[in-house]
Chain A
Amino acid sequence: MATDATTTSPSPRRAGYRFNLTGLVSLVIVLAWAAIAILAPYITPHGVSDIVDTDYFGPMSQSFPLGTDYLGRDMLSRILFGARYTVGISLAATLIACTIGVTLGMAAAVTGGWFDTALSRFIDALSSIPSKLFALVAVAGVGSSIPVLMLILGIIYTPGSYRFARALAVNVNTTDFVTVARIRGERLSYLIGAEILPNIIGPVLADVGLRFVFIVLLLSGLSFLGLGVQPPEADWGSLVRENIGGLPFGAPAVMAPSFAIASLTIAVNLLIDNLPQKIRDRSE
């Protein structure tokens, strides 16, 4: 298992922390998208909602590197700005899912008994609802404003995080130092925070990276169905949806946002698979 993908950026230069080429390239891509999401308003060549071209679904050109969309807006600017929604919402949802999931998972493993059984049974039931379907039902019930989307996506991916953390924590829970701490009379919050968490943090962080990928894909899918981020705001999924009419003409506006999503998700996946040996070792 591996670790430390999206949250911190280990220096590639220190000995033992050498990245292989694939890992390095994917790290650069991930960091680049993160920087774009933060700096979007300063680096977009045109206004996000300015109609700058008289033609719609324009081809790639000198002034519009990725063509123009269905209203004649610059596609590159819209994608750069869309990174904010896709990366931002997904990151927030990942944090929600992993914070709740890991905390509950560790608590269940440490507490055991009926609390563990009941919670695990309930979580199993939740995870037997297909994620897209869950999202559809939740959006129908509570709408799709951005904070609600973060919460829905976070809750949908909590069960996976819970199961993963619980499985790891159960192993640590049987070790002597946890038993000693328990006999010492430490409270639950100390047990999971100071004894369990430091020993499972590596794999858990790798899992955070994977969950981020799932969430990006689900968010894009929802937005593509028109049930995610609502206009005038647009994430990458919405960009594909609003420009789908350009598909018969082979307009770049349809495929470009898809490539943005693919570059991000594939980069995160490859980064996790190719983390430096030292980080991987620590987590095993």
Chain B
Amino acid sequence: MNLHLLSLLGGRLLVALLTLLIVSFVVFCATQILPGDVAEILLGQAATPEAVAGLRTAMHLNDPAILRFFRWLGGMLTGDLGISYANNRPIAELIAGRLGNSLQLAAATALFSVPIALALGITSAMLRGSLYDRSVTMATITVISVPEFMIATSGVLIFAVWLKWLPALSFARDVHSFGEMLRIYAMPVFTLSFVISAQMIRMSRAAVVETLNTPYVEMAQLKGASRTRVVLRHALPNALGPIVNAVALSLSYLLGGVIIVETIFNYPGIAKLMVDAVATRDLPLIQSCAMIFCAVYLLLITTADIIAILSNPKLR
């Protein structure tokens, strides 16, 4: 039985790696579709045909696309991400500074939102059908159906413009005190938390509701156990797997949210770097950022899957 579990996990990891390979191919193709010539774009309109031809050879642009794909992939694997078109700096250097900032933002959001979201999700499942449950459900549907920038702008409007508690859309680079840092992080973290909490509340609520419908919970109720005891002792331990799975899946929504949030708050993270790169059509930088995002996303999704497999007692 254990061997079966191992092969299941191994298979899942293999699928993740294969997926990453296909994703890298798609990302590479998407940025190569346009017939526009990179060498011409780089050299501008005044370039002589000889200069363009020279640059094309130097950049290996005359090689077949499949060869360039494998060269790019090989570079990625060995840590050579190439050179940015926009400012001729190595991409690894550009990204290194920004990745930390983004991870900080993500970590702060996760720390803040996971406990709150789980508490809301579990309690609303316990009080299913009550006014409290219905208002939580309504609120999560609303948050899920509005764009992230609306949450961000509403937050700024309320906390910075009307209440004047927080700075608005600027991001100060030099932070002098803990209090100052808290004020700067507050708006981005608040916005992101809203976005991922909504998903997390929905999924954890569904997981607990499902467990509450099982025969052993009914048995516990018939035995005369109190509601709190039924939930805490009988339902929750069994719902733990699906809940952790829900958390991992919800965190993957961070990636979409972070793109909007970093842009609107001018936060120097990797998503902002990528949006700027798209605006200037800096293809190598876009490719690298996209691959980092996809890898993180796959990591979260695969983790969620593995937790789901491990927490299923039928497979143990």
Contact = CB atoms under 8 A, between A and B. Distances in A.
The answer to whether A and B interact is: yes
Contacts of A237: 147, 149
A125 B286 CA distance: 19
B274 A224 contact: no
Interface in B40-59: none
A198 interface: no
Closest 10 CB pairs of A and B: A125-B22, A258-B150, A265-B145, A140-B278, A262-B146, A141-B30, A132-B256, A141-B31, A125-B19, A220-B147
Nearest to B151: A258
Contacts of B22: 121-122, 125-126
A133 B293 contact: yes
Contacts of B287: 137
A199 interface: no
Contacts, number: 151
Interface in B242-299: 252, 255-256, 259-260, 263-264, 274-275, 277-279, 281, 283, 286-287, 290, 293-294, 297-298
Given A128-B19, A225-B259, A136 B278 contact: yes
Contacts of A142: 30, 33-34
Given A265-B146, A266-B141, A266-B145, A140 B281 contact: yes
B153 A133 contact: no
Contacts of B298: 128
A258 B153 contact: yes
Counting contact residues on chain A (CB < 8 A from B), the size range is 35 or more
A16 interface: no
27 contacts: A125-B18, A126-B22, A128-B23, A129-B294, A130-B255, A130-B297, A132-B255, A133-B255, A133-B290, A137-B286, A140-B286, A142-B30, A220-B149, A221-B149, A221-B259, A221-B260, A225-B259, A225-B263, A227-B275, A249-B161, A250-B157, A254-B153, A258-B153, A262-B142, A266-B146, A269-B144, A269-B145
B141 A140 contact: no
Contacts of A217: 145-147
Interface string B13-45: 000001100110011001111100000000000
B191 to A, nearest CB: 13
B256 A131 contact: yes
B145 A247 contact: no
B184 interface: no
A221 B145 contact: no
A143 interface: yes
A137 B30 contact: yes
Contacts of A226: 279
B145 A140 contact: no
Contacts of A133: 255-256, 259, 290, 293-294, 297
Nearest to B142: A266
Contact of B252 (A122, A130, A137, A213): A130
Given A133-B294, A221-B260, A261-B150, A126 B275 contact: no
Contacts of B144: 269
B130 interface: no
